[in-house]
Amino acid sequence: MAAQIWYEQDGDLSVLQGKKVAIIGYGSQGHAHALNLRDSGVDVVVGLRPNSKSVEFAKEQGLEVKSVPEASAEADVIMILAPDQYQRTIWTNDIEPNIKEGAAVAFAHGFNIHYGYIKPSADHPVFMVAPKGPGHIVRREYAAGRGVPVVVAVEQDPRGDGWDITLAYAKALGALRAGAIKTTFKEETETDLFGEQDVLMGGINHLVECGFEVLTEAGYQPEIAYFEVCHELKMLVDLMNEGGLNKARWSCSDTAQYGDYISKVVDDSTKDRMRYQLGRIQDGSFAKEFIDDQDAGAPKFKELQEKYSHEKIEEVGPKLRAMFSWNKGEAADADEAQSFTGKIARAQVQ
């Protein structure tokens, strides 16, 4: 069955007229949502801890900033954009005791609703607008008159206006310029976690690391190994983004294509391991492991973060990336976005 997709004409901004939208958190997504909605004419307040460093960033952009309890008490729509591991504490301590009767609760990822860490009462509409891109791109594309596509879902709809609110929010974000695909909290959460763990992060990162180590352990120069297993990856991904797997294949040499077709590195045993990982996502055991570790102060997370920050490939990577003059513009944009995101990520509501 074809996916249901909504576009610009399907959203009505008047649905949000006279309503206050509270954006909880001012990180990568938070700043983009707050600024885009504000520029679309929506009445926005940002909810933050009074001592959060993000307060100054938000005020510099001309946004109204209040504490999370204050913002929640006056909002008709509350979009929770703090990191997954902090959301349930913010909900329990600051939002739930102050939320208006019937106020809508929104998310950009289904994690806490799907796994039951947050359970709004039945009188609250619950919806999701999840951009398929980082916050700085959501903001950049909106400012350029374009948009980043989103997936949207409604979990609770007590009044029957849940989809109207969802599509109005998506339009104010600029997302309907690109399109909004209907999903569910369950589907978005499970596919998002699977994609991150088994393809985008846990797949590609480890594949690159393994390829680099196999070549260098066989005596090849690290610089040459880096070019072959890491640097050229962007070219291939860009081709996939433009025209799918077929364009990526057809744009490479016959030798490369043939090697692709006969490769057995990723095979049915890989799919079996992926199915195992998907099972852990579906039954909630991954979520529990992650949240339990975070609740304990994130010892395992910090240990792994430290370990993988010192992979051998990154001993040669910075030197070679400095050679790519044609990337310097993009690198500067990325560094600026990372700097901004890094500053505000440490200062988000916790």
Residue-wise pLDDT tens digits, 200-209 = 999 999 999 9
Annotated binding site for substrate: 253
Q: What percent of the chain has pLDDT over 70?
A: 93
Shared domain for 209 and 153, answered yes or no, is no
Confidence of residue 327 (pLDDT cuts 50, 70, 90): low
Shared domain for 309 and 171, answered yes or no, is no
Shared domain for 47 and 117, answered yes or no, is yes
Q: How far apart are CA 51 and CA 81, in angstroms?
A: 18
pLDDT value of position 329: 57
pLDDT value of position 315: 85
- 155 — alpha (psi -120 to 50), left (phi > 0) or beta? alpha
Q: Is residue 47 in some structural domain?
A: yes
Beta-carbon contacts of residue 252 (< 8 Å; ≥ 6 apart) = 236, 260
Annotated binding site: 26-29, 49, 52, 54, 135, 192, 196, 228, 232, 253
Shared domain for 22 and 100, answered yes or no, is yes
Confidence of residue 314 (pLDDT cuts 50, 70, 90): confident
Q: Annotated catalytic, 33?
A: no
Q: Is residue 97 in some structural domain?
A: yes
pLDDT value of position 34: 98
Terminal alpha carbon distance of the chain: 41
- Give the tens place of pLDDT for each residue, 130-186: 999 999 999 999 999 999 999 999 999 999 999 999 999 999 999 999 999 999 999
CB atoms < 10 A from the CB of 116, how many? 10
Annotated binding site for Mg(2+): 192, 196, 228, 232
DSSP structure class, residue 298 = -
Looking at 134, 153, 183, the residue that finishes a domain is 183
Shared domain for 158 and 109, answered yes or no, is yes
Q: How far apart are CA 216 and CA 194, in angstroms?
A: 30
Segment among 38-47, 51-60, 288-297 with least mean pLDDT = 51-60
- Give the tens place of pLDDT for each residue, 294-307: 999 999 999 999 98
Looking at 157, 183, 209, the residue that finishes a domain is 183
Shared domain for 79 and 160, answered yes or no, is yes
Buried b (16+ CB within 10 A) or exposed e, 151-177: bbbbbbbeeeebbbbbbbbbbbbbbbb
Looking at 183, 214, 231, the residue that finishes a domain is 183
Catalytic residue among 31, 33, 109, 124: 109
Is the pLDDT score of 49 beyond 60? yes
Q: What percent of the chain has pLDDT over 90?
A: 80
SS3 40: coil
- Mean pLDDT of the residues in the chain: 91
Q: Is residue 165 in some structural domain?
A: yes
Per the structure, the count of domains in the chain is 2
Write the single-letter amino acid at 32: A
- Give the tens place of pLDDT for each residue, 208-238: 999 999 999 999 999 999 999 999 898 899 9
- The range of the structural domain enclosing residue 225 comes to 201-266+298-337
Q: How far apart are CA 268 and CA 249, in angstroms?
A: 21
> Which strand (E) or helix (H) includes residue 329?
helix 328-346
- Nearest alpha-carbon partner for 108 in 146, 148, 74, 75: 148
What CATH number is associated with residue 173? 3.40.50.720
How far, CA to CA in Å, does 51 sit from each of 47, 56, 63, 206, 347?
12, 10, 16, 39, 9
Annotated binding site for NADP(+): 26-29, 49, 52, 54, 135
Q: Is residue 224 in some structural domain?
A: yes
